[in-house]
Amino acid sequence: MSGRIAISFYVMDVTAVLLMVFGLLSALSGLCLVKPGLVERATLGLLSGYAACTRLHLDWPILATILTAVIHGVAGLDVWLLRMGRDSWWLWPLGMAAATWLIYIYLG
């Protein structure tokens, strides 16, 4: 059981970093939709143009954020339940089903 907690902690650490990056990317691209000139200067021209900001804000980063957030949440819940003494083998399949459902809703 302690090995599984260590793996879940590692998964939470990795996904936390990814969620920070996706959050910053979402904030920058959202700000770019409102004030494209300001963000273009701040990012040294990397984010320029309304179309690029729209694709960045609404395209693949949202799907990656959904999947990463679900994995992070399931790993945290797994650690919590294991520390309470409950084995939750069903948690990971349920989390992947939830991620699939959220992605289906987003794409629909």
pLDDT by 10s per residue, the chain, length 108: 678 889 999 999 999 999 999 998 888 888 888 887 777 787 787 777 777 778 877 888 888 998 999 999 999 999 999 899 888 888 889 999 999 998 899 888
Q: What pLDDT is stored for residue 31 in this prediction?
A: 82
List the structure tokens of 71: 């994995």
Q: What are the CA-CA distances from residue 13 to residues 28, 50, 51 (Å)?
A: 23, 33, 33
Q: Are 88 and 82 within 8 A, CB to CB?
A: yes
pLDDT value of position 1:
61
* Cα-based distances in Å from 38 to 29, 34, 56, 85, 101: 11, 9, 17, 51, 36
Q: Which H or E run contains 73? A: helix 60-83
Q: Where are the domains of the chain?
A: 2-107
